[in-house]
Structure 1
Amino acid sequence: MEREEEEEEEEEGAAAMLWSIQEAVEKQTLQIGASACGATAVVDVLRALGLDVAPEEADRCVQTRLRRSEAPLPDYLLSRSEAGATHAQLISGAQQASGGKVTGRFFHLHPPRKVRLVPWLARWIRRGAVPVATMNMQAGVPEGEEVPDAWHHQLIFGVAPNAVFMTNPLDVVSEEELLRRLCSDSVLLVRRDDVLQRFTPDCSLSSLSRHPSDQRWRLLDVEGQVKTMIQEEDQEEDQPKKSHVCIPAAYSAGVTLFVLHESELSQELLSAPDLPIIST
């Protein structure tokens, strides 16, 4: 009986909303441009904290990067690895767009962390923090479903027991589903067609293994993956073929909490410890 009461109290403590669902419908910002989910989230973060900033200004401050769709394959893949924005760009963008009135702190969720996500989010939301999830939407996709094309930033406007409410698009997901997206290595799957349609015989695939500042291109053997994909084109139609090439991604999976800079909560947030890694 005592255990049941504790669970009930925990469930009640796991509910917190910045906006009601109806308010979210009215207040949320829909995607403001290509690869601009991060800047879109920043617009809503500032709105939730009582500040209105034009979407164009938020996008300028976040410095959204675009895909170079017309570039040769190696440069196209490089652009895919960093298109959009990282959590660091969201933090600096929100700070700049708000004139220094807003600050943010990112919490890694990969490798797996020892945290009950919904109650943790609820505690911060109730105190006035605004969370943004940076998620690998390609992680944990059920077999048979289409693999999404990119990572995604979404503002979390509320949580309830085993439910997380987000904007752009307006959505509710289970804690388990969100954790799958948040507990991901920094990689991106690029579709076969996107690779093959940009391959030309004269493009230098070896440059994929010689990235000057990121050894992950070599460790993931992106060059070898692309070569395998090209060779598969000569196979019989009924032979299995690689559906994607796996490349490094600039993003880290986790949650950024935003608060007003001139608040007690700001100091508490910035001094809070990282979420502990689950020991194996």
Structure 2
Amino acid sequence: MGTVGTSTDAIAGERRQLINVAYRLLGSVTEAEDAVQDAYTRWYGLPRSRQEEILSPGAWLTTVTGRICLDLLGSARARRERYVGAWLPEPLPDRTEWDRTGGAGPTGPADPADQIVLDESVTMAFLVVLESMTPAERVAFVLHDVFRYPFAEIADVLGRTPAACKQLAASARRRVGAAAAPVATAGRGDVVRHVKEAWETKDIEALVGLLNPAAVMTADGGGMAGAALRPVEGGARIAQYMVAIADKAPGLELLERSVNGVPGLVARHAGVVVTVASFEVRDGRVTRVWAVRNPQKLRPWGREGYEL
């Protein structure tokens, strides 16, 4: 390939796709950005003659990014065994609400959230299912089922045969298939709004009515913010837990916000974002609540008041 295919603009143009792949693989904006930066560093570290031998720089960068993410997923399992309480993916704000206070400005590099396409494959429910997969399953599934990469290319990432990669994706697909399809966003938004109203008024009875009796709440404080170390099970217990949180933080302000592309809630106390909550809704009731309280994962929400 000549200089056109390996031009700086052409290579830089792959960044958006790579960030999208890496976030879905890692569930972390920061780690995704680091993985993509590492891939670019390796590309620019190649001799010019080697770059020109590569027929598709985009495919090369995807392969390298995928391998970096695969390694990170393997080491993440060990790290998460030492994590305090439950580990949840980083919640993503809508790009219009992404904090840019520490960015490079309009002429500098774009914030990673501006690069990420918000669709069903980045909802908290979907990302949590991805967490249940082995690293190889996750890579095979995300690259093939989400981004439509052929198994021949995925084989280069995983170091396995295309047939083996196809089996990995099929195994991962069964895990995803076990989860029921979510309701339409409009229906979910109505339920989330009612949860907000009941939470604000500390109406336990109303909250219990909005929660499925078998609902489960998972909180991620990372040892840096108060959070239940184990999932809270049962609609009644979750309602009591939510009201207890409000009692401990007089003046808690709840805001309806897009969280990973779907309706969620942001809790702000004394001008600081303290919780970002995502919900799974089925048949008009909340079945799962994911509450991220680890302040390191709330930095993108700075425009909502988080003090960086």
TM-score, scaled relative to structure 2: 0.27
Q: Return the structure number with greater helix share.
A: 2
Structure with higher RCO (Cα < 8 A, 6+ apart)? 1
TM-score, scaled relative to structure 1: 0.29
